[in-house]
């Protein structure tokens, strides 16, 4: 029967593919696939440009600076002064490496998974270091939480949290939590478990930043050691 044959032919024809509506499209994966690069949103690109300028300036200052007066006041031994100088240069190396990577990322206007995850881990580790030795909270704001490293991590999390894997975000969180833990250890070991107040912290700062009168007297005593005899 011709009609049966035509009906059978119609049934055997493949159905046309229909694109799903926009609200039914598959969501983008949580992280950038391995080996792939994605275009950066304008906000993320702008943030990384600011970080490039900031990290480059800090890297040059930390790596190329001379022996600072505050290090001389902080250390009573020559080896102690050398170690502080060494740590400053080492910090400059880390900042310089991140700045070098940012230069390449910004030039390509694209970013890979390993690059964004390195940025997350580096920012979180720096925040952990900062929180380890942050001063007491001061109402109405936590003065130390306005540090550029903390602000940079918050902005990076807002702009690019979905570009990294959950494991990277978890590791970054552990770095931050370790900084909080180390802060309590710092209070116990260095400040001998005393009440953590702004007055206690200012007294510690005064040991290396004495008042003007004290500094002038110390200078006079150094120049004229027998003046007070």
Are residue 64 and residue 127 in the same domain, yes or no?
Answer: no
Neighbouring C-beta atoms of residue 201, cutoff 10 Å: 15
What does the radius of gyration of the chain's CA atoms come to, in whole angstroms? 29
Percentage of the chain modeled with pLDDT above 70: 76
In a domain, 18, yes or no: no
Q: Which residue did the predictor score with more confidence, 176 or 139? A: 176
Are residue 79 and residue 151 in the same domain, yes or no?
Answer: no
In a domain, 151, yes or no: yes
Least confident of 38-47, 117-126, 154-163, 192-201: 192-201
Strand partners, 112: 37
Nearest one of 122, 183, 111, 116 to 149, comparing CA atoms: 122
Please tell me the predicted confidence (pLDDT) of residue 159. Answer: 93
Please tell me the predicted confidence (pLDDT) of residue 178. Answer: 97
Distance between CA 216 and CA 222 in Å, rounded? Answer: 10
Please tell me the predicted confidence (pLDDT) of residue 219. Answer: 47
* Domain final residue, candidates 77, 93, 111: 111
At 206, is the pLDDT very low, low, confident or very high (cuts 50, 70, 90)? confident
In a domain, 82, yes or no: yes
Please tell me the predicted confidence (pLDDT) of residue 205. Answer: 82
Which parts of 101-151 are beta strand (E)?
110-112
Distance between CA 62 and CA 45 in Å, rounded? Answer: 25
In a domain, 169, yes or no: yes
Do 131 and 180 touch, CB atoms closer than 8 A?
A: yes
Neighbouring C-beta atoms of residue 97, cutoff 10 Å: 14
Please tell me the predicted confidence (pLDDT) of residue 155. Answer: 95
Are residue 118 and residue 192 in the same domain, yes or no?
Answer: yes
Are residue 54 and residue 135 in the same domain, yes or no?
Answer: no
Are residue 199 and residue 127 in the same domain, yes or no?
Answer: yes
Are residue 97 and residue 165 in the same domain, yes or no?
Answer: no
In a domain, 23, yes or no: no
| Whether the predicted pLDDT of 204 surpasses 90 | no
Strand partners, 37: 112
At 3, is the pLDDT very low, low, confident or very high (cuts 50, 70, 90)? very low
Are residue 102 and residue 116 in the same domain, yes or no?
Answer: no
Give the distance, in angstroms, between the CA of residue 83 and the centroid of all CA atoms in the same chain. 23
Please tell me the predicted confidence (pLDDT) of residue 31. Answer: 82
Are residue 193 and residue 131 in the same domain, yes or no?
Answer: yes
Please tell me the predicted confidence (pLDDT) of residue 18. Answer: 47
User: What is the model's pTM?
Assistant: 0.75
Q: What does the angle CA 163 – CA 165 – CA 167 come to, to the nearest 5 degrees?
A: 150
Distance between CA 162 and CA 168 in Å, rounded? Answer: 11
In a domain, 211, yes or no: yes
Highest mean pLDDT among 15-19, 34-38, 56-60, 199-203: 56-60
Nearest one of 88, 111, 95, 198 to 152, comparing CA atoms: 95
Distance between CA 226 and CA 13 in Å, rounded? Answer: 109
Strand partners, 110: 39
Range of the domain at 129: 112-217
Q: Round the average pLDDT of the chain to a whole number and report it.
A: 82
Strand partners, 138: 141
User: 162 vs 136, 151, 156, 199, CA distance in Å?
Assistant: 33, 18, 11, 42
Are residue 69 and residue 157 in the same domain, yes or no?
Answer: no
Do 132 and 183 touch, CB atoms closer than 8 A?
A: yes
């Amino acid at each position: 029967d011709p009609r049966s044959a035509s009906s059978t032919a119609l049934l055997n024809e493949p159905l046309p593919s229909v694109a799903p509506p926009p609200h039914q499209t598959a969501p983008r994966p949580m992280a950038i696939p391995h080996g792939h690069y994605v275009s950066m949103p304008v906000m993320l690109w702008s943030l990384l440009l600011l970080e490039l300028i900031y990290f480059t300036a800090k890297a040059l200052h930390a790596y190329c600076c001379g022996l600072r007066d505050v290090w001389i006041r902080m250390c009573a031994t020559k080896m102690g002064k050398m170690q502080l100088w060494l740590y400053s240069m080492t910090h400059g190396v880390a900042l310089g490496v991140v700045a070098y990577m940012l230069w390449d990322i910004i030039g390509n206007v694209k970013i890979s998974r390993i690059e964004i995850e390195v940025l997350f881990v580096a920012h979180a580790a720096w925040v952990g270091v900062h929180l380890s030795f942050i001063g007491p909270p001061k109402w109405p704001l936590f003065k130390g939480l306005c540090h550029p490293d903390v602000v940079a991590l918050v902005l990076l999390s807002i702009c690019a949290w979905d570009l990294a894997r959950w494991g990277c975000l978890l590791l970054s969180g552990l770095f931050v939590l370790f900084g909080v833990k180390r802060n309590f250890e710092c209070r116990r070991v260095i400040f001998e478990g005393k009440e953590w107040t702004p007055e206690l912290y200012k007294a510690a700062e005064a040991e290396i930043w004495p008042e003007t009168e004290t500094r002038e007297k110390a200078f006079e005593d150094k120049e004229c050691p027998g003046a007070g005899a």
